[in-house]
Structure 1
Amino acid sequence: MDIIWLRDFEALVAQKNFSRAAEERNVSQPAFSRRIRALEDTVGVKLINRQTLPLSLTPAGEVFLSQARVMLRTFEETIERCQVIDAAGENVIRFATSQSLYMTHYKTHIAPLVEQGGLDIDLNSTSWAADQFVSALQQGYCDVILTYWHPSMDFLAPLEAAQCEYITLGRDDFIPVAKGGAEGPLFHMGKGQNKPVPLLSYGTASALRAVVDSLLRGQMDGPKILVMNRNVLAISVKAMILEGFGMGWLPRELCREELDEGRLMQIGDESFVEELEVRLYRSVENAKPTLSRLWNEIRAASG
């Protein structure tokens, strides 16, 4: 799919007329029409209802429009980031991490060393699927990934086999929590409960999904669980737990403040708690001097 076709489609939606949209895109109308047709052929459905005046979108076209705008925005942001990195040269260290780790371990463990060393960091705090972090590191899109690690996280296995090394930055408990109140937690995890416990869990794109699944498999005679919602981001799971929609597992560091204030309460016994490692990975073939310096400083601080 050509990015030009997406811009053509966006122009046509705005103008609702082939001639005006072609003029805006500085192309002849026949050529413009062929490009819109090629876009529809690629997608495999009709996007434009040509029987209405002015032109309108088909239901599929409405869906495609929102996604086309996301693709265009992502493309533009990627170009901008590449240009910034290229202009900065080899001194920039490119980090990739999840929002939950950015808000906890990155800020407490790495940011101070970055500031002390006067290093340039390109930090991509993202909602990528778990395996995209691995691909980004392997393909050189980033220099370092900061991730949780647990034996159930198979997506990290390729890094063990590849030319990659890691530092264990710290550890965090993965704990079941529920909204707190004057009478205690809103939900409980006792054995033998007849009423299912509503669970706010993680989607398949989340690294933490595998840990929740592993915990539940180990609790065959535990409480009944009813999955109410799945989300990629631990921050979003926390927000829904705070609203009282159900219970869920969170890294302790991500909800420490809410636990201290009593807005969240840990539930269940220790059999429902798993330990997570917080790891930094890099390729040993990455010879960037600034990365080597920061890596050695982090290793020394973590030792």
Structure 2
Amino acid sequence: MDIRWLEDFLALVELRNFTRAAEFRNVSQTSFSRHMQALEQWVGAPLVVKGASPVRLTEAGEQFRESAQIAVERLLESRSSIRASQFDAMSQVRIAMPSVLARSEFKHILDAFGQRNRSSFSVIVGTTSDVVARYLAGDADILFAHDCTAIPVHAALADHQRLVLQKDVFQPYAASDPVRRKAISFPGTTQKPSPLVAYSQRVYFARLFEYVQERVQTPLPHKVRVQCDMSDVLKEVIADGYGVGWLPASAVDRSTHPGICPIGGPEWRLDLDICAFRPRQTLSPRLESIWEKITARAARNCAC
């Protein structure tokens, strides 16, 4: 039995869709399906209702769900604890953060530690889904990521310590050039849908966009013109007038990127937190000291 089968099963339980779960786990759908079949053979009973959309668990699947969650958490916590106990022999603090935060926040995070800090840092960068998965797998000591109380970035992070560093907002942007902007209708109509610059389905911000659509009573007729994982790419495409796209405000520096500006009313915006996560168990003295510095920075931000 492979722990990855359990992690795949839990991803499927959370996302309720084979395609999205496979994308989240960064495997092909064929491999993902094989893992589910192998797990069901190991358990000795079907875990999901065949053909159900969204995915539904069988009675055996519901029974197995809690055991799988506990098993994965204990195994990962055990590995994390063993690695943490060896940390004093290591020189690096392992940080995971999505690229959208690495560009805007990493320097500020380093500044919080101070130049006299003797630690060196190893940084894992990628999409939010990727870095969260790497952190939960024990490849990083501290995770920095956007998080929303309405749509948590990952259910498993509820068991980890969460620290809000600062507030952010997820909102729609369009080209600031009047000519390009005039060609864009927002929120659009059935006859003239809004051109949309969108995130790929596996990206956390795609889930936030879906939540905004569900929350707003006004329909959003749209047609996807460009789809991509990376916010930086979407910014450039939005500035070129390809359509409307949602971005975290922290990712948009108007002084260096004046080509886009917010569009739409407050109903299209969603409050976000920029958070730091860590395991709840006691870490090495060096990591505990670094967490104290992160906490102090968060307190200063809240006081401003």
Output the TM-score relative to the length of structure 1.
0.63
Q: 1:226 to 1:220 in 2, by over 3 A?
A: farther
**Which residue does 1:113 correspond to in 2?**
112
Paired residues of 1:137 and 1:283 also in contact (CA < 8 A): no
Identity of aligned residues (%): 18
Amino acid at match of 1:170: Q
**Which residue does 1:60 correspond to in 2?**
none
Amino acid at match of 1:238: K
Alignment counterpart, residue 265 of structure 1, candidates 261, 266, 270 = 261
Greater CA drift, 176-185 or 227-236: 176-185
- Partners of 1:211 and 1:155 lie apart in 2 by 9
State the secondary structure of the residue aligned to 1:158. Answer: helix
1:165 aligns to 2:164 (yes or no): no
**Which residue does 1:55 correspond to in 2?**
none
1:153 aligns to 2:151 (yes or no): yes
**Which residue does 2:274 correspond to in 1?**
278
Spell out the pairing of 1:19-38 with structure 2 (5 A cutoff).
none
- Partners of 1:255 and 1:206 lie apart in 2 by 18
Paired residues of 1:138 and 1:283 also in contact (CA < 8 A): no
1:302 aligns to 2:301 (yes or no): no
Higher gyration radius (CA): 1
- Partners of 1:209 and 1:286 lie apart in 2 by 34
Q: 1:188 to 1:111 in 2, by over 3 A?
A: farther
The aligned length equals: 213
- Partners of 2:217 and 2:266 lie apart in 1 by 15
- Partners of 1:156 and 1:215 lie apart in 2 by 18
**Which residue does 1:224 correspond to in 2?**
221
Displacement, 1:289?
2.0
Paired residues of 1:91 and 1:290 also in contact (CA < 8 A): no
- Partners of 1:286 and 1:219 lie apart in 2 by 42
Paired residues of 1:176 and 1:272 also in contact (CA < 8 A): yes
Displacement, 1:255?
1.2
Structure 1 runs (4+) deviating above 4 angstroms are 190-193
Alignment counterpart, residue 177 of structure 1, candidates 167, 173, 176 = 173
Q: 1:113 to 1:200 in 2, by over 3 A?
A: same
**Structure 2: runs of 5 or more not aligned:** 1-30, 32-85, 300-304
- Partners of 1:262 and 1:239 lie apart in 2 by 11
Paired residues of 1:192 and 1:223 also in contact (CA < 8 A): yes
Amino acid at match of 1:112: D
Amino acid at match of 1:149: D
1:208 aligns to 2:205 (yes or no): yes
Displacement, 1:174?
1.1
Displacement, 1:286?
5.2
Displacement, 1:98?
0.9
Q: 1:276 to 1:154 in 2, by over 3 A?
A: closer
Spell out the pairing of 1:34-49 with structure 2 (5 A cutoff).
none
1:92 aligns to 2:97 (yes or no): no
Compute the RMSD of aligned alpha carbons.
2.6
**Structure 1: runs of 5 or more not aligned:** 1-41, 43-85
- Partners of 2:257 and 2:99 lie apart in 1 by 22
Q: 1:227 to 1:286 in 2, by over 3 A?
A: farther
State the secondary structure of the residue aligned to 2:140. Answer: coil
Paired residues of 2:171 and 2:262 also in contact (CA < 8 A): yes
